[in-house]
Amino acid sequence: MKAMEEVREKVRKAIKEGVSLREIEEMVLQEAMMEEREAYLEVEEDEKNGTYFRYLGTGDGVLRLRVPRTRKGGFRPKIS
């Protein structure tokens, strides 16, 4: 739940700053994938290994996402 509160706070701040819905979508998906990798690493013997870029087409346009990866390559976020 702590992660969800952090995301909510980031969304609130972004809205106040006039950030577009597309950018907010990118932010939320990015946070979700990073949290998903953290959960994966809690149960698997693996290590973080940076990110790579992927593009996701939506009704609001194309999102540019940094997809997290692991050293052994076993992690696949549900979004990608």
Residue 33 lies in a domain: yes
Give the domain extent around 38: 2-70
Residue 37 lies in a domain: yes
Residue 44 lies in a domain: yes
Task: For residue 70, give the nearest of 53, 50, 52 by alpha carbon.
Answer: 50
Residue 75 lies in a domain: no
Counting as low any pLDDT under 70, the low residues of the chain are 1, 80
Predicted pLDDT at 70: 97
Tokens of 29: 């998906």
- 70 DSSP 8-state letter: E
- Output the pTM of the full model: 0.84
Predicted pLDDT at 80: 55
Q: How many domains does the chain have?
A: 1
Residue 52 lies in a domain: yes
Provide the angle, in degrees to the nearest 10, between the axes of the packed helices 2-16 and 21-43: 160
